[in-house]
Structure 1
Amino acid sequence: MPEQLGFDFGAMPKKLVRVTPAKLATWADCPRRFRMAYLDRPAPPRGGAWAHNTLGAVVHNALKGLFDLPAAQRDPDRAVSLLHRQWKSEGFRDADQAAEYRERAVGWVHDYVAGIDTSIEPVGIERWVSTPTAKIVAEGRVDRIDLRDGELVIVDYKTGRHALSADDARGSQALALYALAARRTLRKPCRRVELHHLPSGTVAVWEHTEESLGRHLGRAEEAADELGLASDTLAAGGDPEILFPPRTGNQCTWCDFRRSCPEGRAASPELEPWASLAP
């Protein structure tokens, strides 16, 4: 035995919990939803598409396609062409509503591309980044990562109905974790995070410090401890209803697993799939 030979290796190191911003947000939103999304096999059936999610995905895909092209081809008309090519109508009320929001998206993308320097060469487009810490592996896919004056900048596209502020950028755990993971993956400093809100044409900016990044990381590690313990206990035969209780509220309206959660259905009204579109 190692101990008999004078060696003491101590306890086995604790396994790092792999988390993405989406996982952490789902856990904070509702432990039951987390279980249904990431642990239950087979997973419960999900609800149908939401129009605002379809709209966001189309815009993201069009901008990804634009920056995949050579710089000389990145102009507003090409961006609009890519949006038309990517267009889907899932979740909209009817063809007329889909056409209306398609035209809105055309305007957003055209104006956005016209207002930025498309000659830049991002160091990441839909780039997967990852970093281990003392307790977790934080990872995720970033919309765009720029390199400006020797430092990385996290760019996140937004298409929601409300404009965003510096407080939104400062308070985003996702952006902070992306910054930490990007600087580890790409080996360059990263402090600046930006929310590019296409409908309003605004950019919300925050410059993190080591202290502010550390606070976000600390909260992520605390949540990862909780969800990791609950997941391990479930795998060992624990009661899923105790380990992953529902957390009800307005968020239940939008839950993909609403049909499988009676508490969620009782807590909030059912809305049409296009209800979150800007009027």
Structure 2
Amino acid sequence: MPTRLYPAAPSRLATYADCPRRYRMGYLDQPTPPRGGAWAHHTVGAAVHVALARWWELPLPRRTPAAGGELVVTGWSSEGFRDERQSREHRDRARGYVERYLATVDPAVLPLGVERTVSVRTERASLWGRADRIDDRPGEGVVVVDYKTGRSVLTVDDARESLALAVYAAGAARTLRREVTRVELHHLPTGTVVGWDHTPASIDEHLSGADAQAAAMATLDAAFRAGMTPDEADAAFPPLVAPRCGWCEFRSTCGPGRSVPAHRPWDGLA
């Protein structure tokens, strides 16, 4: 029988690369250790992504920037914010930058996909993910778009080095049966767009790296599920202590991670 492909979204691979201990806690441990509370910046990102997806479901006459802002408001949650005042402040801020962004989008030109799940296979892995938007632009061809709402300033390197965007491009090419090499990050708070034009070779490089990582993770996952002592599991999935531990949802149950000061739930707001 052929070896079963290892199913993985780019986020799963990225979690393991960032910290094997966090990966084990989130994907393998049963029961899953307690997670921390909600992060305000995740709340913002979720509301904005849902609004931008649902905007395309509106009838064309209602597909206005103001309608996009209203979708942010109706889908808003106050989870993770310090108080209602801070929540309202960032709700109104998100509403404003969604409206400014949609003013640059032609509502009559439907994307090829919105929140579309695509997948691609390598020798040992089945990689999949959900692209925020897939455009078909005259003179440019198919373009994969990923929305960002965080406080980090994005660069071309972020688009070029993103495994997720490379997987989306390869998966879209497989699904649409068209060449897809252009990927873009759209940072809504600043209105910045950074993009990268991949080549087939650069996408293959991303997929080859993901394939090798997936194969190693498949071996570790199987060994863990077959049975490891606590000491063996700790050795196989070591913590990578770093400043990012302050953001980890498992920090409270990770001894090494607790050595890094915790961030407040609203510290990641743009």
Task: Report the TM-score when normalising by structure 1.
Answer: 0.92
Q: CA deviation at 1:13?
A: 2.3
In 1, distance between residues paired with 2:31 and 2:56? 37
2:124 paired with 1:135: yes
| 1:117-128 alignment, distance < 5 Å | 117-128=106-117
Partner residue in 1 for 2:72? 83
Q: CA deviation at 1:147?
A: 1.8
Once superposed, what is the RMSD of the aligned Cα atoms? 1.3
Partner residue in 1 for 2:190? 200
Q: Which runs of 5+ in 1 are unaligned?
A: 1-11
In 2, distance between residues paired with 1:20 and 1:99? 33
In 1, distance between residues paired with 2:255 and 2:264? 18
2:267 paired with 1:275: yes
Rg larger in 1 or in 2? 1
Q: CA deviation at 1:159?
A: 0.6
CA deviations over 1:55-111 (Å, ceiling 9, x no partner)? 111110110110122333211111011111001110010111111111110111010
In 2, distance between residues paired with 1:275 and 1:145? 31
Partner residue in 1 for 2:47? 58
Are the counterparts in 2 of residues 191 and 209 from structure 1 also a CA contact under 8 Å?
yes
Matching residue's letter, 2:113: G
In 1, distance between residues paired with 2:255 and 2:142? 45
> 211-220 or 147-156: which moved more?
147-156
Could you say what secondary structure the match of 1:48 adopts?
coil
Q: CA deviation at 1:148?
A: 2.3
CA deviations over 1:120-139 (Å, ceiling 9, x no partner)? 11121111111112121010
Percent identical pairs in the alignment equals 50
| 1:136-215 alignment, distance < 5 Å | 136-149=125-138, 151-215=141-205
Q: Which runs of 5+ in 2 are unaligned?
A: none
Could you say what secondary structure the match of 2:184 adopts?
strand
2:97 paired with 1:108: yes
2:8 paired with 1:19: yes
Are the counterparts in 2 of residues 177 and 217 from structure 1 also a CA contact under 8 Å?
yes
Could you say what secondary structure the match of 2:263 adopts?
coil
In 2, distance between residues paired with 1:252 and 1:101? 25
In 1, distance between residues paired with 2:227 and 2:254? 21
